Protein backbone atom coordinates (compact mmCIF):
# COMPACT_ATOMS: atom_id res chain seq x y z
CA UNK A 1 0.00 0.00 0.00
CA UNK A 2 1.22 3.49 -0.77
CA UNK A 3 1.81 5.49 2.42
CA UNK A 4 -0.52 8.41 3.17
CA UNK A 5 2.49 10.75 2.94
CA UNK A 6 2.76 9.89 -0.78
CA UNK A 7 -0.85 10.94 -1.40
CA UNK A 8 -0.05 14.16 0.44
CA UNK A 9 2.95 14.60 -1.89
CA UNK A 10 0.71 14.12 -4.94
CA UNK A 11 -1.78 16.62 -3.49
CA UNK A 12 1.07 19.13 -3.11
CA UNK A 13 2.09 18.58 -6.74
CA UNK A 14 -1.49 19.29 -7.83
CA UNK A 15 -1.65 22.38 -5.59
CA UNK A 16 1.65 23.70 -6.99
CA UNK A 17 0.23 23.75 -10.53
CA UNK A 18 -3.51 24.28 -9.94
CA UNK A 19 -4.08 25.63 -6.40
CA UNK A 20 -5.13 24.22 -3.04
CA UNK A 21 -8.87 24.19 -3.81
CA UNK A 22 -8.16 21.89 -6.76
CA UNK A 23 -5.90 19.70 -4.59
CA UNK A 24 -8.68 19.26 -2.01
CA UNK A 25 -11.20 18.37 -4.74
CA UNK A 26 -8.65 15.97 -6.22
CA UNK A 27 -8.20 14.06 -2.95
CA UNK A 28 -11.96 13.91 -2.20
CA UNK A 29 -13.22 12.67 -5.57
CA UNK A 30 -14.92 9.25 -5.79
CA UNK A 31 -16.22 8.08 -9.20
CA UNK A 32 -19.71 6.69 -9.64
CA UNK A 33 -20.79 4.12 -12.23
CA UNK A 34 -21.64 6.84 -14.78
CA UNK A 35 -18.11 8.32 -14.46
CA UNK A 36 -16.54 4.88 -14.88
CA UNK A 37 -18.60 4.32 -18.04
CA UNK A 38 -17.57 7.73 -19.40
CA UNK A 39 -13.89 6.94 -18.74
CA UNK A 40 -14.19 3.65 -20.63
CA UNK A 41 -16.04 5.34 -23.50
CA UNK A 42 -13.41 8.06 -23.82
CA UNK A 43 -10.65 5.43 -23.88
CA UNK A 44 -12.37 3.37 -26.60
CA UNK A 45 -12.91 6.42 -28.83
CA UNK A 46 -9.37 7.67 -28.37
CA UNK A 47 -7.70 4.31 -28.99
CA UNK A 48 -9.58 4.10 -32.28
CA UNK A 49 -8.62 7.65 -33.28
CA UNK A 50 -4.90 7.60 -32.44
CA UNK A 51 -2.69 5.27 -34.47
CA UNK A 52 -0.25 2.92 -32.79
CA UNK A 53 3.27 4.34 -33.08
CA UNK A 54 6.41 4.24 -30.93
CA UNK A 55 6.97 7.21 -28.66
CA UNK A 56 3.37 8.44 -28.65
CA UNK A 57 2.33 7.59 -25.08
CA UNK A 58 2.57 11.21 -23.88
CA UNK A 59 0.28 12.37 -26.70
CA UNK A 60 -2.18 9.56 -26.02
CA UNK A 61 -2.27 10.34 -22.29
CA UNK A 62 -2.71 14.08 -22.91
CA UNK A 63 -5.58 13.49 -25.33
CA UNK A 64 -7.19 11.14 -22.82
CA UNK A 65 -6.90 13.71 -20.01
CA UNK A 66 -8.51 16.34 -22.24
CA UNK A 67 -11.36 13.97 -23.15
CA UNK A 68 -11.91 13.08 -19.51
CA UNK A 69 -11.93 16.75 -18.53
CA UNK A 70 -14.63 17.39 -21.16
CA UNK A 71 -16.83 14.45 -20.15
CA UNK A 72 -16.49 14.32 -16.35
CA UNK A 73 -17.27 16.81 -13.64
CA UNK A 74 -14.20 15.63 -11.77
CA UNK A 75 -10.67 16.92 -11.16
CA UNK A 76 -8.54 15.55 -14.02
CA UNK A 77 -4.79 16.07 -14.14
CA UNK A 78 -1.97 14.82 -16.32
CA UNK A 79 0.95 13.50 -14.26
CA UNK A 80 4.52 12.71 -15.26
CA UNK A 81 6.65 10.35 -13.25
CA UNK A 82 8.10 6.87 -12.97
CA UNK A 83 6.26 3.66 -13.80
CA UNK A 84 7.60 0.56 -12.11
CA UNK A 85 6.77 -3.14 -12.17
CA UNK A 86 7.24 -5.02 -8.92
CA UNK A 87 9.39 -2.18 -7.61
CA UNK A 88 11.70 -1.96 -10.65
CA UNK A 89 11.40 1.15 -12.82
CA UNK A 90 10.49 0.47 -16.46
CA UNK A 91 9.85 4.07 -17.51
CA UNK A 92 11.80 6.71 -15.63
CA UNK A 93 13.79 9.82 -16.28
CA UNK A 94 16.72 10.34 -13.92
CA UNK A 95 16.88 14.08 -14.60
CA UNK A 96 15.27 16.51 -12.19
CA UNK A 97 11.87 17.34 -13.67
CA UNK A 98 11.92 20.78 -15.25
CA UNK A 99 8.35 20.51 -16.47
CA UNK A 100 8.09 23.89 -18.18
CA UNK A 101 11.26 23.17 -20.18
CA UNK A 102 10.36 19.55 -21.01
CA UNK A 103 6.63 19.76 -21.70
CA UNK A 104 6.48 23.07 -23.55
CA UNK A 105 8.38 21.51 -26.46
CA UNK A 106 6.29 20.19 -29.38
CA UNK A 107 8.11 16.82 -29.10
CA UNK A 108 9.01 16.49 -25.40
CA UNK A 109 12.05 14.42 -24.54
CA UNK A 110 10.83 12.60 -21.45
CA UNK A 111 11.97 9.11 -20.46
CA UNK A 112 9.34 8.60 -17.77
CA UNK A 113 5.66 7.78 -18.01
CA UNK A 114 2.66 10.09 -18.29
CA UNK A 115 -0.80 9.18 -17.06
CA UNK A 116 -4.10 10.83 -16.20
CA UNK A 117 -5.37 11.12 -12.65
CA UNK A 118 -9.09 11.51 -12.02
CA UNK A 119 -9.02 12.57 -8.43
CA UNK A 120 -6.90 9.97 -6.65
CA UNK A 121 -7.59 7.40 -9.39
CA UNK A 122 -5.01 6.44 -12.00
CA UNK A 123 -6.57 6.38 -15.47
CA UNK A 124 -3.83 5.07 -17.74
CA UNK A 125 -4.70 4.55 -21.39
CA UNK A 126 -1.05 4.32 -22.49
CA UNK A 127 0.17 1.37 -20.42
CA UNK A 128 -1.55 -1.38 -22.42
CA UNK A 129 -0.77 0.14 -25.80
CA UNK A 130 2.87 0.34 -24.74
CA UNK A 131 2.85 -3.23 -23.40
CA UNK A 132 1.45 -4.64 -26.63
CA UNK A 133 4.02 -2.81 -28.80
CA UNK A 134 7.34 -4.16 -30.04
CA UNK A 135 9.40 -1.41 -28.34
CA UNK A 136 8.04 -2.05 -24.82
CA UNK A 137 10.46 -2.83 -22.00
CA UNK A 138 10.29 -6.64 -21.61
CA UNK A 139 9.47 -6.51 -17.88
CA UNK A 140 6.37 -4.39 -18.51
CA UNK A 141 5.23 -6.52 -21.44
CA UNK A 142 5.58 -9.75 -19.42
CA UNK A 143 3.81 -8.26 -16.43
CA UNK A 144 0.87 -6.86 -18.39
CA UNK A 145 0.41 -10.09 -20.34
CA UNK A 146 0.52 -12.27 -17.21
CA UNK A 147 -1.61 -10.05 -14.93
CA UNK A 148 -4.09 -8.47 -17.35
CA UNK A 149 -3.96 -10.61 -20.50
CA UNK A 150 -4.57 -9.46 -24.06
CA UNK A 151 -6.87 -6.87 -25.59
CA UNK A 152 -7.01 -4.41 -22.69
CA UNK A 153 -7.20 -0.69 -23.29
CA UNK A 154 -7.54 1.15 -19.98
CA UNK A 155 -6.21 0.69 -16.48
CA UNK A 156 -8.21 2.48 -13.76
CA UNK A 157 -7.54 1.96 -10.08
CA UNK A 158 -7.18 3.98 -6.90
CA UNK A 159 -3.60 5.21 -6.76
CA UNK A 160 -3.01 3.44 -3.44
CA UNK A 161 -4.13 0.08 -4.82
CA UNK A 162 -1.95 -0.07 -7.95
CA UNK A 163 0.77 -1.93 -6.04
CA UNK A 164 -1.63 -4.85 -5.50
CA UNK A 165 -1.24 -5.63 -9.20
CA UNK A 166 2.51 -4.98 -9.16
CA UNK A 167 2.42 -1.46 -10.63
CA UNK A 168 4.06 1.59 -9.11
CA UNK A 169 3.18 5.11 -10.20
CA UNK A 170 5.58 7.63 -8.67
CA UNK A 171 4.43 11.17 -9.51
CA UNK A 172 7.09 13.79 -10.10
CA UNK A 173 5.23 16.56 -11.91
CA UNK A 174 1.66 17.65 -12.62
CA UNK A 175 1.34 19.33 -16.01
CA UNK A 176 -0.31 22.72 -16.39
CA UNK A 177 -3.22 23.24 -18.78
CA UNK A 178 -0.86 24.97 -21.24
CA UNK A 179 1.53 22.00 -21.17
CA UNK A 180 -1.35 19.59 -21.79
CA UNK A 181 -2.48 21.79 -24.70
CA UNK A 182 1.04 21.68 -26.13
CA UNK A 183 1.01 17.86 -26.01
CA UNK A 184 -2.41 17.87 -27.67
CA UNK A 185 -0.72 19.35 -30.74
CA UNK A 186 1.19 16.09 -31.10
CA UNK A 187 -1.99 14.08 -30.65
CA UNK A 188 -3.73 16.07 -33.39
CA UNK A 189 -0.78 15.50 -35.75
CA UNK A 190 -1.05 11.75 -35.08
CA UNK A 191 -4.79 11.75 -35.78
CA UNK A 192 -4.24 13.51 -39.08
CA UNK A 193 -1.92 10.71 -40.17
CA UNK A 194 -4.78 8.20 -40.15
Structural domain of 33: 4-192
**Residue 18's CB: how many other CB atoms inside 10 A?**
18
Averaged over 140-161, what is the pLDDT?
92
CA distance 86 to 89: 8
Distance separating the N- and C-terminal Cα atoms of the chain? 41
User: Over the stretch 113-147, which tens digit does the pLDDT of each residue have?
Assistant: 999 999 889 999 999 999 988 889 999 999 999 99
| Res. 70: pLDDT tops 60 | yes
Residue 158 has phi, psi (to 5 degrees) of -60, 140
Instruction: Measure the CA angle with vertex 121, ends 116 and 125; round to 5°.
Output: 40
Sign of CA dihedral 62, 73, 79, 129: negative
CA distance 2 to 101: 29
pLDDT at 186: 82
As for how many domains the chain has, the answer is 1
Averaged over 62-81, what is the pLDDT?
93
User: What are the distances in angstroms from CA 69 to CA 51, 127, 141?
Assistant: 22, 20, 29
Return all residues near 95 (Cβ < 8 A) that are at least 6 apart: none
Averaged over 81-110, what is the pLDDT?
87
Name the percent of the chain lying above pLDDT 70.
85
User: Over the stretch 2-53, which tens digit does the pLDDT of each residue have?
Assistant: 444 455 556 666 656 656 666 666 666 678 899 999 999 999 999 998 888 8
- Asked if residue 43 lies in contact with residue 60, where contact means CB atoms within 8 angstroms, the answer is no
Amino acid sequence: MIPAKDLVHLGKLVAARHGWAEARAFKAYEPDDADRARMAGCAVELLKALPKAPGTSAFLSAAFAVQLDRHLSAPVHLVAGTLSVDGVAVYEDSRAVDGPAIFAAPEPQWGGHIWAMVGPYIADVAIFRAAYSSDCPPALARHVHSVFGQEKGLYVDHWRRARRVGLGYEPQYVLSRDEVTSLMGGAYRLMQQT
